[in-house]
Each structure stands twice: as C-alpha cells, then as structure tokens.
Structure 1
Amino acid sequence: MAGRTMVITGASDGIGRAAARALSRSGENVVVVGRSADKTEALARELEADHHVADFARLEEVRALAAALLDRYPVIDVLVNNAGVIMGSRTMTADGHETTFQVNHLAPFLLTTLLSERLVASRATVIMTSSVLNLRARLDLDDLDLIRNYAGIRAYANAKLANILHTREMQRRHGDAGVNAVSFHPGAVATNFSSGTDSMARLVYHTPLKRFMHTPEQGADTLIWLATSVPGADWVPGGHYEKRRTAPVHQLSDDTDVARRLWERSEEMLATG
C-alpha cells in the first residue's frame, strides 16, 4: 500500500507535521498543506514533498487549494482534514462566518465537497481530526455562527461535533461508492494550537503544563494508523477513534436527521459565503 497520495491539511505544525514526517518516511507520497508559508515550505523541503499554502479562514483560498489538488493529483488516496483553531472572543472571517466554525468545519466541508468526485474515484480514506470536546457541544442548526450565546469553548465543541456528523453523513452518502470516512481524537497534545488567539486554551498549550500532554508524535499515532490500515477490517468506516479504539461521541452523533440537516445547512452557508 506504499506510495499512495496523502493530502494532510494543518501539516505545518503539531500532529499534522508529525504524521507527515512518519508517513513520508514509510514511503507515502505526502502532500503538505498549511497556513504558514514558511513552516509549510520548510517541511516540504525536509520531506522532499509537494506543498500548498491555504488559510482556512478564507474560503477563496480553500477553493483555490481544491482546484490545485484536482489539477495535480489524478488520485487522492487519503485526505486528512486536520487544520483547526479555537478562538476566545467571537470573530468573523471575511466570508461572514464565525472563525472557529469556519476553520474547523465549513472549510474542510468545502474542500472535501470540491474533491468528492476524485475521492470517490480513488476509493479514498477521509480522516477528520475531531476532539473529545464534541461531548460538550450544544449544536443549534439555526445558529451555527453562534450569534447568540457565544463562548469560545462552545464554538470549538460544536465544530468538533460537526466534524463527526460530517464524517458519518459522508459515509452514508458515499460509502457504497468506496469512500471510507472516519474521525478521531488525538488527545491533549503539546503543540502550538491556539497560538496567536485570545483563547484561554493558550494557557494550557503555551505554559509548563504542556509537559503533562502527549507529544505530537503520540497524538499523530491514531491518524497514522487510520491512514495506513484497512477500512472495514482494522476500523469501522463512519466511526470515531482515540488511541486506536472506539471513542465516545455526543448523543447527536447517531442522529441521521441532524447529520443530514447539518450537511444541507453547510451547503447553504457556503453558497452565500
């Protein structure tokens, strides 16, 4: 199975970078995607890999990324939607959406949608980086941008639940055509996550408390396992994992109507944003 094309977003740092290094060493054709041009280019040089730069807070850059990927790669075997952010104060993107929700859900939803025909043709594995915080979500499909009752942790939890719902609805829609979608929680990982934001998360990720957290390599382990093992044999498509085992999910994760409505609502938001 070596030599497959694997696109990893959020690859310029943290678990994305750790996974890119490990997968490249094992012989996979890794394509690194990141927001920071300097970090992304540096990793690409180190791995002798292709790279693309895109800021998921700008949907025009996501659309340009999708066009570039479709133009360059006739087969995409694995897509890892790993880019993410958590904000403290409520901020809006240039596209008119709450930043945490757009970067963590709307942008990867858009990228995956634009690549969907290629992913189906490639019988691809699609991996979503979610979080145990999905269990704290209070998802309101009529207020996904959290105009009412905003809190940074709620926005992040909602987006991480949206990742799981997106995974499960994608599996329902495209599983019979060969796509295998899955989500996972990497654990609390010592990375630069939340750097440059006003989120309280920076007090954990950027203080000595980091020494109690997983290394990026440890956090990337389940991602690497999902990317290199056999769907349907080693893990269940549509599932959610942590430490290579099935992980708990929010009760709404099994609600097929909510998953369908989130998909449709996401399409509506992207049509106007």
Structure 2
Amino acid sequence: MSTANKSSAVSNWTADKLPSLEGKTYIITGGNSGIGFEAARMLANAGGDVVIACRNTEKGSVAQHALQIQAKGKIDLVQMDLSDLSSVRHAAEIIASRYTKIDALINNAGIMQTPELKSVDGYELQFATNHLGHFLWSGLLKPNVEAANGRFVVVASLVHKMGKINFNDLMMRENYASMKAYSQSKLATLMFGLELQRRLSDAGSSSFVAMGHPGYSATNLQSTGPTGWMSVAYRWMNSMFAQSAERGALPTVLAAAGLEVEPNGYYGPTKRMETVGSVGRAQIASHALNPEVARRLWSESEWLTDFKWAF
C-alpha cells in the first residue's frame, strides 16, 4: 500500500477546524442523503453556499429545506441523474450559468452492488454512475473550478483495493458480479482523481484534487443496492460495525475545505483497518497508482462519454 500525501500532518481532523467558508461555493452530488447530506450540512454551517445535485428532486427539496434551517450559507438544488450523460450535460449547463466560480466540486454520489443493470446510454450501471457521470461532470465544470482556484473532490472507497480495471470487458457483459463491478467502479473513481491531479500539475493549474473515503459508515447505500442475503447481511453489519454517516462525511469535508489539505491528499478513518475512527491520512492500493492504466482509463472514459477534457 501507499499514501498519496506522505508529508501531510493531518490527524484526528474534525469539522470545527474549518475556517469561515462565507462567500465560497460547494457543489455536491448526492447531497440529499447520507454522507453527502452530512457533508453539505457541515459546509453550510461553516458559511459556505452549497448546491445539491441529485436525481430525485422531491427528496432533494426535503434535504434543501432541512439544511437551510440551520445553514449560514445558501442551499441550492439542481436535478441530475449521474447515470444519464445527457442529464449530466444539462445539469452542468445550469450550474455553469449560475456559478462562475466553484470552490469545490464534490463527487460524492454513488450506487453499490446493484443487480446487473444498464444505464440509458447502455453502460454497466455502477460504472456509469460512480465513474463516467462524475468524469463528464468534472470535465464540463473544470473552467468554473479553476476560476476559483478550487478543488476537485473525489469520494472513493476502501473497496478500490479489491478492484481491477478490466479493459477487455469494462461493462462486465460476459461475467457480471455485483461486488466486482462495484470495486471496479470505485477503483476507476480513485484513479480518475489521481490522473486528474497529474494533468492539472502538468498544465500548471492552481486547482487541485483532494480525495477521501468514508470507511464503513451506515448509509442508504447498503439498503438500496444489494439484494437478497447481502441486504440482510448489511443490516446486521451496520448495527454491529458501522460508524455514523456524520463521521463518515468528515474526510469529504476535510478534502473540500480543510486548510490542512495538500494536492493529491487522500484521507479517511484511521482505526480498524480504516473502517472507522478519527480522520487522518488514508492508504491507496499500489495498483491504483499505475499511471499507464490511469492514462488508458482516461482515454476510454473520454471515448465512452464523448467528451475531450481541455488543459
């Protein structure tokens, strides 16, 4: 294993270490529930203006109102289905027109261990939602992030360590397994962040990538994706081993707005094999650091989304 930020001194980080975020704008996918909601709450309570991008506007409106009650910043809402590339493009147009500067673009939303399903574009649903949607979203809003010298925040997962990018069958049409598809999608998510940082650095950009993972936190991910015995198992494991969504959101908030963060930093819980506990540096599996695989994944992603990033 390796760390992406060996010189970082971040340890036992909590949200009370945030500076005032007044006047700053944070866009978060999936900010209507779970870790995304808790991250949005912390950022807004510190004074930031937060935009929730989510698929279900009814649930999004409920979250928006709940957040606005206590928020110091403003809470906005935009509809977007990450698994639908046309929806991503439409939402990005709306965001770009409303917010010329984005201080952090937080790629948080995701799905986990679904049955074999295809997106409207014909792609494996987990890969489409967790990776391709965010890849396109980030590329479309890159000018707005760079206008603020802002951050691209990647929310990864411990399961990236189990993942493998199968270029011969990215969509797993030949041999689908829900966990294998999920771990591939989260490895792709993390490798995207690492490769984006390389390209931003090569281009001399003042924007940077910061990454985090929530460890094992109790959210609706475990109840809306897995089916059958896995759904039952997750209910038991959540009650026995998981930490709260609030604690799970801390690495995301740190990556988005913490003063301690360094470019290419990766943060998460530090106890029980990084599943729970105080927040500090996190480990990246060595195979996720392979630049050749990352470059190929980037090219494949540009082709699949029909979008060429500009640097």
TM-score (norm: length of structure 2):
0.81
| 1:255 equivalent in alignment to 2:263 | no
Query: Is the CA contact (8 Å cut-off) linking 1:189 and 1:214 kept in structure 2?
Result: yes
Q: Is the 8 A contact 2:153 2:252 kept in 1?
A: yes
Cα deviation for residue 108 of structure 1 reads 0.4
- The residue number in structure 2 matching 1:17 is 37
Q: Structure 1 residues 256 and 58 mapped into 2: Cα distance closer, same or farther (>3 Å)? A: same
Residue 42 of structure 1: which of 35, 58, 62 is its match?
62
CA contact (8 A) 1:190 1:205 kept: no
| Unmatched segments (≥5 aa) in structure 2 | 1-19, 69-74, 270-278
* Distance (whole Å) between structure 2 residues aligned to residue 201 and residue 102 of structure 1: 22
Deviation at 1:198, TM superposition (A): 4.4
Q: Distance in 1 between matches of 2:96 and 2:134?
A: 15
1:82 aligns with 2:118: no
After TM superposition, the structure 1 stretch with the greater mean CA deviation from structure 2, 90-99 or 39-48, is: 39-48
- Asked if structure 2 preserves the Cα contact closer than 8 Å seen for 1:35 and 1:54, the reply is yes
Whole-angstrom CA distance in 2 between matches of 1:182 and 1:30: 18
Give, as a single letter, the amino acid of the residue that structure 1 aligns with 2:43: L
> Which of the residues 241, 249, 254 maps onto 2:267?
241
Correspondence 1:24-173 to 2 at 5 A: 24-48=44-68, 49-173=75-199
Give distance in 2, aligned partners of 1:63 and 1:203. 37
User: What letter is aligned with 2:209?
Assistant: A
**2:21 aligned residue:** 2
Matches of 1:255 and 1:210 in 2, distance apart? 36
Greater mean deviation of Cα atoms: 153-162 or 243-252: 243-252
Deviation, 1:192, is: 0.9
What whole-Å deviation, never above 9, does each CA across 1:70-124 have from its counterpart, x for those lacking one?
Answer: 0100110011100100234211111010000010000000100111122222211
Q: Could you tell which deviates more after superposition, 189-198 or 86-95?
A: 189-198
Shift of 1:205: 4.2
Contact 1:88 1:151 in 2 (8 A): no
1:181-192 superposed matches below 5 A? 181-192=209-220
Q: Secondary structure at the match of 2:153?
A: strand
Match of 1:178 in 2: 206
Contact 1:127 1:223 in 2 (8 A): yes
Counterpart AA for 1:2? L
The Cα shift of 1:212 comes to: 2.8
Aligned to 2:276: none
Cα distance in 1 for partners of 2:239, 2:55 equals 23
1:141, CA displacement in angstroms? 2.2
Deviation at 1:23, TM superposition (A): 1.1
**Displacement of 1:227:** 1.7
Give how far 1:194 is off. Answer: 4.2
Matched, 1:222 2:241: no
Structure 2 CA distance for partners of 1:212 and 1:10, relative to 1, 3 Å: same
CA distance in 1, matches of 2:142, 2:217: 30
Q: How many residues of Structure 1 are paired with residues of Structure 2 in the alignment?
A: 269
Say which is worse superposed, 260-269 or 55-64, in terms of deviation: 55-64
Matched letter for residue 35 of structure 1: R
Q: TM-score under structure 1 normalisation?
A: 0.92
- Map 1:254-273 → 2, pairs under 5 A: 254-271=289-306
Question: Is the partner of 1:177 in helix, strand or coil?
Answer: coil
Return the offset for 1:34: 1.6
Q: 1:50 to 1:160 in 2, by over 3 A?
A: same
The answer for unaligned runs of 5 or more in structure 1 is none
Q: Please, what is the CA RMSD of the aligned residues?
A: 1.8
User: Could you give the per-residue CA deviations for residues 25-64 of structure 1, whole angstroms, max 9, x where no partner exists?
Assistant: 1111111112221221112123331111211121111111
